[in-house]
Amino acid sequence: MTFDYDLFVIGGGSGGVRAARIASAEGGAKVALAEESRMGGTCVIRGCVPKKLMVFASEYPEEVQDARAYGWDATLGAFDWGRFRGTLDKELDRLEAAYRSTLLNAGVTIYDARAVVVDPHRVRLASGEEFSVKHILIATGGRPFVPEVPGGELAVTSNEMFLLDALPKRALVVGGGYIASEFACILHGLGVQVTMMYRGASILRGFDDEARGMVSTAMIARGIDIQCGVDVARLEQGADGIVAHGTDGHAREVDLVMYATGRLPNSGGMGLESLGVGIGARGQVLVDEWSQTSVPSIYAVGDVTDRINLTPVAIREGHAFADTVFRGVPTKADHALVASAVFTQPELGTVGLSEEAAKGLDPSEDRGPIEIFSASFRPMKSLFAGRQDRVLMKLVVDQASQRVLGCHIVGAGAGEMIQLAAIAIKMGATKADFDRTVAVHPTVSEELVTMRKPTRVV
């Protein structure tokens, strides 16, 4: 049987673009990709990239302050959001065009349209045009949402944060995850008075307790009002702003409420359930280790599968799918020891097990004692500038094998540092491997190779 396309990819984000390019350029497949919004997806248009650029923008006030301590006669002028946004928009246009031309150069046909699945070998565009296809890849990502709360329509999500006409004076960020924490720091750095409201006990749940505690303390010290154990009961439009009534009985008036309380997979309205594609409780497309769904011709990668919702993971999953199905190289995406960073001020970089997760390892798997090597200190650069900031260098080590199970770094550049530590840990480095590596001096990360005695054994 012949098909219009060997592969039809739905979604032009991190996972879809990689899969389409590899299947076409390296797998020789006839490939089409449909994108209903802007090419590049969440990461490029409304996620990692614009966020990181906003992080950079938000760091200048501290840098100028520190410059004064270093002898510079520096003063901080006003921040011009309009100017920043103009440059940001241009950069996103450039990246979107680059993604588009990469696909076209790879021989992929692009449809700027929403696509749905009609049957295991058929997709339909919003225009009604249909194609027969041998394989379908669902790479539709995820989306933020505002939970059901009275007045919820007054709130925005991360999607709108990159499109604001003006910066608010006062903002409430609802949520305690990495996106909420990053935006709280960004807004604070840009001069906005920020309150964070999180219903849990402390922000950045899931990250190493010592590391997230240090980030939270530093955020509070910088002036971010972090309210834990509180949720929004209702939002109301007041005369001078939005009034957020908390479950603690307090009302807070702000100019902007941003919800970052989680993201949901974009699997609805695509015809998947009726075809028998397994869908999980959160709406995630259920796949096996080859990213194949319960319908053999349909695969799914990236956030829509809700495995590890990070760009490099979506890319790896897309690549592994294309290798397996179109290049004859069966490849499973490897989800072990994925490093990541939280771009708060200070940053948090993490890979592997947290102290708590290591302690919680199943005793039936013969878990022995875990050695914790943890050093917290004021780094040279900010200490000189009179800051109280502390950094954290932490290794979680299995005592019996001496394998390093996890590494957690808090401090400037933690995202960059953890990438390199992750290579060693992925290779199976032991504590002795770290110890026999000569330090680079004077650096903050030299502490990773100079911690001789465990701080505690758990």
Ligand X SMILES: Cc1cc2nc3c(=O)[nH]c(=O)nc-3n(C[C@H](O)[C@H](O)[C@H](O)COP(=O)(O)OP(=O)(O)OC[C@H]3O[C@@H](n4cnc5c(N)ncnc54)[C@H](O)[C@@H]3O)c2cc1C
Residues that bind ligand X (CB under 6 A): 10-16, 34-37, 41-43, 47-48, 51, 114-115, 139-142, 158, 179, 266, 270, 302-304, 309-312, 314
Question: If we measure between CA atoms, which residue out of 306, 286, 333 comes closest to residue 22?
Answer: 333
Closest approach, Cβ 172 to ligand X, in A, equals: 17
Q: Is the dihedral of CA 166, 170, 172, 176 positive or negative?
A: positive
**Residue type present at position 254:** V
3-state helix, strand, coil in the chain (%, to 5): 35, 25, 40
Contact 262, 145 (CB under 8 A): yes
Would you say 117 or 226 has its CB closer to ligand X? 117
Q: Count CB-CB contacts under 10 A for residue 310.
A: 19
Would you say 114 or 426 has its CB closer to ligand X? 114
Closest approach, Cβ 16 to ligand X, in A, equals: 5
Closest approach, Cβ 163 to ligand X, in A, equals: 13
The 3-state DSSP class for residue 275 equals: helix
Would you say 370 or 418 has its CB closer to ligand X? 418
Closest approach, Cβ 430 to ligand X, in A, equals: 28
CA distances from 362 to 25, 353, 359, 365, 407 (A): 45, 13, 9, 5, 20
Would you say 99 or 326 has its CB closer to ligand X? 99
Would you say 111 or 373 has its CB closer to ligand X? 111
CA atoms of 123 and 129, how far apart (whole Å): 8
Closest approach, Cβ 361 to ligand X, in A, equals: 26
Both tokens of residue 185?
């720091």
Both tokens of residue 83?
């100017």
Q: What are phi and psi of 16, to 5 degrees?
A: -65, -45
What residues contact 225, with CB distance under 8 A and at least 6 apart?
Answer: 194, 195, 196
Would you say 218 or 285 has its CB closer to ligand X? 285
Catalytic choice (121, 188, 335, 441): 441
Closest approach, Cβ 68 to ligand X, in A, equals: 30
267 φ/ψ sector (left φ>0, alpha ψ -120 to 50, else beta): alpha
Does the annotation count 441 as an active-site position? yes
How many Å from the N-terminal Cα to the C-terminal Cα in the chain? 61
- Residues carrying an active site annotation: 441
